[in-house]
Amino acid sequence: MKTPVFNSEEAMAQLRRSTHPGSAHFYAMYSSLFGGIITDPALMVLPLDDHMVHRGHGVFDTATLVNGMLYQLDQHLERFLRSAKMARISLPFPAERLRQIILDTAAASGRRDGSVRYWLSAGPGGFGLSSAECVGSSFYVMVFRQEGYPESFYTRGVKVITSTVPIKPPFFARVKSTNYLPNVLVLLEAKERGADNGIFIDDRGMVAESSNMNVAFVSRDRVFRHPQFGAVLSGVTVQRMLRLAEGLVKEGALTKIEIGDITVAEGKAAAEMMLVGSSIKVAPVVEWDHQPIGDGKPGPIARKFLDLWHEDIRRATDQLVRVAYPE
């Protein structure tokens, strides 16, 4: 069969035809290349010569839209700006303007719940390696239906395996770049081996993180434990949970909070283990490498953290930014 060559009009029609059912849940997109917001999923495309596409020279972050508010937007933005600096991508606009564009895109989506993801790219300019050829950095925002996890993750718990996928070196684990190949592979490996997700182990044999979430433990003497942040992504959610854990220490549910190295053996001997992140919130892990964690049932502390998360999105005014929807 001969490969068709399209003129611009035909190409546009093809673009419209090429949307898939999932794109019905892509609600709004901002592109600095258009200089505005669009809501037609068929047009939510990037130029191939954008260095984020063909070189992975881009960074991103995601904030959750809940009840018409962006949860922890400023904390996510702070990490986004840190990532941009590490990736040596300059901002196309001042940070305050980026924040406003995110809020405007959320408003234009008309949605009160979803995910708001934004990217900063070295930008288009050609197919070379150096961003010196780029015409300027580009900024994109997308509002889409949040990835859902099965209810059983919370009621029956999550099963994990130790991943054989090599973890990113510390610098690359700390920058939230668009190079998520190891993160994708850890998840695919876990599914293939009958688990829900995998755990990255660092080159010293210490517990690191999961595919796109952090991992925390409650020891048998009720210490809340998290790995050091030097070689993992500093999760906005787990940083908040570490703060809220102070309340659980005060009420006696936990004895203390410890951030430091956790060996695999220590992790497996914990009373509780949990996955923490913007998408999963807090989910109990009940099995690791086919061995039960604690009594093999979702634990009370993971439950308490999930309840605290729900309370936070309802009441923590210092963690919520209201979206100004059109009347």
Ligand X SMILES: Cc1ncc(COP(=O)(O)O)c(C=O)c1O
Q: Which residues form the catalytic set?
A: 176
When binding is defined by CB under 6 A, the residue of 58, 123, 198, 277 that contacts ligand X is 277
Min dist CB 305 to ligand X, Å, is: 12
Minimum distance, C-beta of residue 280 to ligand X, in the bound complex (Å): 8
The residue within the footprint of ligand X, chosen from 138, 163, 214, 219 (CB under 6 A), is 214
Choice from 102, 212, 245, 254 touching ligand X (CB under 6 A): 212
- Decide: 173 and 137 in contact? Cβ < 8 Å: no
Residues 151-190 that bind ligand X (CB under 6 A): 183
Coil/strand/helix, residue 110: coil
Whichever of 238 and 302 has its CB closer to ligand X, that residue is: 238
Question: Of 50, 189, 202, 209, which lies in the binding site for ligand X, with binding defined by CB under 6 A?
Answer: 209
Q: Residue type for 134, please?
A: C
Range in contact with ligand X (rule: CB under 6 A) among 4-12, 157-165, 206-214, 314-322: 206-214
278 binds ligand X (CB under 6 A): yes
Residues between 232 and 261 that touch ligand X (CB under 6 A): 233, 235-238
Nearer to ligand X, 198 or 235 (CB): 235
29 touches 35 (CB < 8 A): no
Nearer to ligand X, 115 or 131 (CB): 115
Nearer to ligand X, 120 or 236 (CB): 236
Residue 117 or 222 with smaller CB distance to ligand X = 117
Tell me how far CA of residue 233 lies from CA of 172, 178, 221, 322, in angstroms: 9, 13, 27, 26
Kindly write down the DSSP assignment for every residue of 258-321, as one continuous string.
Answer: EES--BHHHHHT-SEEEEEETTTEEEEEEEETTEESTTSS--HHHHHHHHHHHHHHHH-GGGEE
The amino acid occupying position 133 is E
Q: Which two tokens stand for residue 43?
A: 């047009």
Cα(23)–Cα(143) distance, rounded to whole angstroms?
11
Binding status of residue 197 toward ligand X by CB under 6 A: no
Residue 254, phi then psi, degrees to nearest 5: -120, 155
183 contact partners, CB below 8 Å, separation of at least 6: 211, 212
Say whether residue 227 binds ligand X (CB under 6 A): no
Judged by CB, which is closer to ligand X: 236, or 270?
Answer: 236
**Number of shown-chain residues binding ligand X (CB under 6 A):** 12
Please provide residue 144's backbone torsions phi and psi, each rounded to the nearest 5 degrees: -145, 165
Stretch of residues binding ligand X (CB under 6 A), selected from 131-139, 219-227, 231-239, 297-305: 231-239
- Nearer to ligand X by Cβ, of 57 and 174: the residue is 174
Neighbours of 255 (CB within 10 A): 14
Distance of CA 212 to CAs 142, 182, 207, 274, 281, Å? 18, 10, 14, 13, 11
| Bridge pairing between strands 138-144 and 26-31 | antiparallel
Q: Which residues bind ligand X (CB under 6 A)?
A: 183, 209, 212-214, 233, 235-238, 277-278
